[in-house]
Amino acid sequence: QSMRRARAALLATQRESLAHCDQQFDAAIQHYRRMVEQIPTQPVASANECRAMVDMLVGDMLGQSESSIRLLSESTGDRAWMHPVNVTVLSLLLGKAMSMSARELRDLGIAAFLHDIGKTQLPDRVRLADTNFSPPEYRMYQSHVVHSIVLATRMQLPVNVQTTIGQHHEMMDGSGFPNKVQGAAIGLPGRVLALVNRYENMCNPIRPSTAVTPHEALSLIFAQMKTRFDNVVLAAFIRMMGVYPPGSVVQL
């Protein structure tokens, strides 16, 4: 009977933890929406709000035991708003797994949260990547990276954060964009963000029918895209996703 009571208490604690993190996730999505609306008129204030939110996430992540981190949500919603939050949480988890300092995690989290902010400057038809894009449409889609950096500059974000934002589509083999940077020229935060961004896009694509499971995404990246990503970062990500099994603790 005492074991049953202990199990019931544990389950109740887990439910409370999950409810709290779901609230955090929903709050982060609402924060992103407000920030998008606020940046044109109050860029610096938006940056300060972003820092405060990321500081909260980093503090929770560093303060909680691994088994209690449940920051990603299964709830359905507009992918354009959920994607930056998913990428931010996964990037922070990976940064923590790679022993980044609290300051490094904060800068990585800000870059992850804002990496796609430039898409707000694009026409609706090219805001999300599509395999049916014409070459001019694809070039317009690629320009979201530059737009993101311009907005980050207006927000007076540190240069290293702007650099990480600018590298979220750069690949280790030089096949990325917009500058075809490769190898050591890509900073560690940029390598983390590029991998997590690609993974999340595979799990939650614009067309749900093309989605793959987290396990399939990792397998495809390892088997077919290994040259595009940093080996150390990819190995750490695969190990981390074993610690936080998709569908239980990290929920995509």
| pLDDT tens, position by position, 3-41 | 778 777 777 776 776 676 677 777 888 888 888 899 999
Q: 9-13, 209-213, 235-239: which has the minimum mean pLDDT?
A: 9-13
Identify which has the larger pLDDT, 19 or 86: 86
Phi, psi of 246 (to 5 degrees): -55, 135
| pLDDT tens, position by position, 113-150 | 999 999 999 998 888 777 788 999 999 999 999 999 99
Which residues make Cβ contacts (< 8 Å) with residue 164, sequence separation at least 6?
Answer: 107, 108, 111, 115, 187, 189, 190, 193
Whether 199 shows a pLDDT value over 60: the answer reads: yes
How would residue 210 be classed by pLDDT, with cut points 50, 70 and 90?
confident
Q: Which two tokens stand for residue 20?
A: 């709290």
Q: Are 119 and 240 in contact (CB under 8 A)?
A: no
Closest by CA to 191, choosing from 64, 94, 60, 82, is 94
Instruction: Write down the pLDDT at residue 14.
Output: 66
- How confident is the model over 216-236, as a mean pLDDT? 94
Between CA 148 and CA 204 the distance in angstroms is: 21
How would residue 78 be classed by pLDDT, with cut points 50, 70 and 90?
low
Instruction: Write down the pLDDT at residue 69.
Output: 41
How would residue 66 be classed by pLDDT, with cut points 50, 70 and 90?
very low
Which residues make Cβ contacts (< 8 Å) with residue 171, sequence separation at least 6?
Answer: 182, 194, 228, 229
Phi, psi of 250 (to 5 degrees): -90, 115
How would residue 64 be classed by pLDDT, with cut points 50, 70 and 90?
low
Q: Which two tokens stand for residue 26?
A: 């929903």
